[in-house]
A and B are shown apart, each in its own frame.
Chain A
Amino acid sequence: MNIIVPIKMVPDLVDELEINEDGTDLDRDFLSYKLNEFDDHALEEALQLKEEGDATVTVIAFDGEETDKALFTAIAKGADNAVKITGDFEEGTASHVLAKALAEAIKGMDYDLILTGVQAADDRDGQVGVLLANYLGVPHVSVVSGVTLSGNTATVHKEYAGGMMAEFEVDLPAVLGIQAARETPRYAPVSRVRQIMRQAELEEVEVGDVDVNVGSEVRRMFTPEAGEGAEMIEGDAEEVADKILEILKEKGVR
């Protein structure tokens, strides 16, 4: 069983996000990047599947900010191989382009299962996992939080609203968009990651220009006014607590 996990770095949402001068993208000069949290769940689920059976896990990512670190971290967590895609795929590249390039990089590989994060904070033109499945011509199920493998099929749970789930049986190879792994994604100690960086090597695959019609362009990017809706309560914790009590009384909640 060969499992591939494409991972992607996204801007750290804890930071203040600013818009560039054209007003069409983030100002990426001072952004810090981190692994898309759903991809971390996809990796965890892959590692769980590896641990309960016989599987190899290959992590693949586009070269860019923090990519090497994320790939080495994945190895430190238990992934077997790490592949870096080089080419012209800078941060903010459209999902369609990334998915097509991933398909180019993956199609020659021997794989049974591809686990992606269900979505990313910046996939404006669609979720990469489903696009990738369609470019590869394999089945897909997204919003998955439960994978069981048996022979050439996977039994998966897809989440609906209200806590409802649907169970599907999927013939492999397939792409699953992981919403949540069965366990909280594991942590790799920094010392271990450093050690891996000295020992392990990243395989590199070059992908040239891909032929895909994105068909949409951002003409304006903007931050919705923060605090627009909320009346901000000033003061220290005691004062805020007093004010909250006052509001509750006024609104008849107390």
Chain B
Amino acid sequence: MNQDIFVVAEHLKGSVEDVTYELLGKGRELAGSTGGKLVAVLMGSGAEGLAGSLGAADKVIYVDHPALENFNPEAYAAALADVVKANNPGLVLVPNTSMGMDLAASLSVRNDLPLVAYAIDVAIDGGNAVATSQLYGGKVNAESVLEGDTVAVSVLAGSFPADAGKKDGAPDVEKAAAPGELDNLKVRFKQLIEPEGGDVDITAQEILVSVGRGIQSDENLPMVEELAEALGGAVSASRPIIDNKWLPKTRQVGKSGLKVKPKLYLCLGISGAPEHIEGMKDAELIIAINTDESAPIFEHAHYGSTEDLFDIVPALTEKLKG
């Protein structure tokens, strides 16, 4: 594997996303093992100023083009492919986010290089990158060795501390030409759509009672509402509940929902898929109730029970109402 570590910088509405700092922090450590440079790849339009927020990198490669003003799967993939081809880094770290999912697999095919996704850890071992992926809904981890001069790993957000990648400094900015493909795109960005204003702002709640698939039916929600009320909190949910339209999108915790940090996160019938964990793992106290004792949620909870939630919820509500 070549020596330099590249990090694809993700930004939205004029600011660099935290996952970028998480990758820069890890990238710095990996560049230490390979003896290479840590380089951030920034793509945008008139966004060169963002390089100033990437002080942890030794260098920023910046591609400027009107089509890169907002993320665009086709435009960003084309620009990234060119940058990687021209510079031959050893490892390209891409966030395994909504944006990164369009980029990482494209880079792998366009540049014919190996990709491992869903990584929660990356190391250098015997000159190769080794990535640990979280698979099967968080139930199994797989450690893969990537072979090649240039390889790519897409990393789940929240895998590394962001602080390690936040550093003051003004890295050198090297401008790279935008590929011609950007003048004739088949994917066109139209607009950003802000989330609808919510009935309840779950990010401002100190206590959340969160429900998942285990709740079985929306007819069981009133029971949970009652518990949340007795606790002085609100009800939030994992993705399947929102997809079933049992609760509005504003109540969704997780990767494509909201990130919450309540004092208490009581989860009922939530298995704890990585996408959900990403949104709640920083809660101060996590109590999980799930009849599946192998549910990944128990790895992240402080306390757990495999008793039936349909027994615990009424019992707890009654005691709270005293």
Contact = CB atoms under 8 A, between A and B. Distances in A.
For B73, B141, B207, the residue with the greatest tally of chain A CB atoms inside 10 Å of its CB is B73
Interface in B199-236: 206-207, 231
B316 A244 contact: yes
Contact of B109 (A41, A131, A216): A131
Interface size class of A (residues with CB under 8 A): 35 or more
B87 interface: no
Contacts of B238: none
B187 interface: yes
A142 B307 contact: no
Interface size class of B (residues with CB under 8 A): 35 or more
A201 interface: no
B193 A157 contact: yes
A163 B250 contact: yes
A155 B196 CA distance: 20
Interface in A4-19: 11, 13-14, 16-17, 19
For B113, B115, B312, B320, the residue with the greatest tally of chain A CB atoms inside 10 Å of its CB is B115
Nearest to A235: B307
Given A125-B117, A163-B258, A219 B193 contact: no
A134 B114 CA distance: 14
A199 interface: no
B139 A245 contact: no
Nearest to B240: A37
A27 to B, nearest CB: 11
Contacts of B271: 13
A123 to B, nearest CB: 7
A180 B117 contact: no
A171 B185 CA distance: 9
Contacts of A228: 298-299
A14 B98 contact: no
B302 A231 contact: yes
A142 B139 contact: no
Nearest to B136: A121
A231 B286 CA distance: 11
Contacts of B196: 163
B299 A224 contact: yes
A218 B130 CA distance: 9
A124 B189 contact: no
A135 interface: yes
A144 to B, nearest CB: 10
B306 interface: yes
Contact of A17 (B70, B140, B143, B284): B140
A134 B133 CA distance: 23
Interface stretch (B22-30, B145-153, B167-175): B145-153
Interface string A196-235: 0000000000000000011111111111111111111101
B310 to A, nearest CB: 9
A231 B303 contact: yes
B287 A169 contact: no
Contact of A168 (B17, B72, B252): B72
A160 B157 CA distance: 12
Contacts of A188: none
Contact of A247 (B190, B244, B285): B285
B34 interface: no
A158 to B, nearest CB: 6
Interface in B163-201: 186-196
A241 B117 contact: no
Interface string B54-85: 00000000000000001111100000000000
A226 B272 CA distance: 12
B309 to A, nearest CB: 9
B145 A164 contact: no
Q: Which 5 A-B pairs have the closest CB atoms?
A: A215-B114, A163-B195, A237-B311, A134-B109, A230-B304
Given A161-B98, A164-B195, A216-B147, 4 more contacts: A134-B110, A161-B97, A219-B143, A253-B264
